[in-house]
Amino acid sequence: MNTTFSCVGCGKCCNDHHVPLTLPEARMWAADGGQVIVLVEAFLGNGLGLPAQQRDHAERRSAVVHSGESAAYVAITFAAYNVGPCRNLDEDNLCRIYERRPLVCRIYPMEINPHIALNPAIKECPSESWEKGPDLIVGGELVDRELRVLIERSRQADRDDIQMKDAICALLGIRTTALKGDGFTAYLPDMNEFASILDDLAGQTLPQWDSEWLFHVSGEDIARQVTDAGGQVATQAPANYSFISLRVA
């Protein structure tokens, strides 16, 4: 089935969405006075928390760390924190920073994760967005060459940035993750500290961090799976983060 798409300027994708940022974009966001949210998820060395077919992609965008007696693969996302309308959205639903908007905004409505197919039914775009416009997907293949390049740039940035993200997190005291598929741990760092650390580390040889990561999980059954796999579960109440559960009630 072919898919067409044409943005109608409704602004829905610019409301209540935490937009993933590359490191330069995160620094720009901080310089503009915005807040970055840090979202963390991980899977264990034995694959707990991850479908086997997704492992190659997930490993390439993760930092290898240790948790208890196990290796863990931690994925860290720096995202623009948007509760309500994006701070750059004007009264006409137009982007004030359109020419320098984040890469993920340029890629929308396509998905970055190669294991997630575009599904118009779960997008917030109105139905008329999908009724006309240029071809987006033909015969199951993305036909926009420029968009393919942007998607690969985004995926590569995830891979290139992960060690720096881990270093920034270490200096911010971020060392608790969620299990992939179970949820995310979410941090709202002080932005002056965040920007200062990012600037200090830029262009430097990153130190090796030996601090242990802990897993915050949604329930005792998940905790047992993590500890049985050798991972370490957090036992204290969150001091500097919130847990976003993905578990179906």
pLDDT digits (tens, 9 = 90+) for 144-154: 999 999 999 99
List the end-to-end C-alpha distance of the chain, in Å, as a whole number: 34
Looking at residue 247, what is its pLDDT?
Answer: 83
188: tokens are 């709202």
How many Cα atoms within 13 Å fall on the side-chain side of residue 94? 3
pLDDT in tens, 168-225: 999 999 999 999 999 999 999 999 999 999 999 998 888 777 789 999 999 999 999 9
Q: 3-class SS at 74?
A: strand
Q: Tell me if 82 sits within 8 A of 18, measured CB to CB.
A: yes
Place of tokens 């623009």: 80
State the Cα–Cα distance between residues 230 and 45, nearest whole angstrom. Answer: 9
Q: What is the amino acid identity at position 180?
A: K
Looking at residue 249, what is its pLDDT?
Answer: 59
Looking at residue 49, what is its pLDDT?
Answer: 87
Looking at residue 206, what is its pLDDT?
Answer: 86
Looking at residue 211, what is its pLDDT?
Answer: 83
Weakly modelled stretches of the chain, pLDDT under 70: 249
pTM above 0.85, yes or no: yes
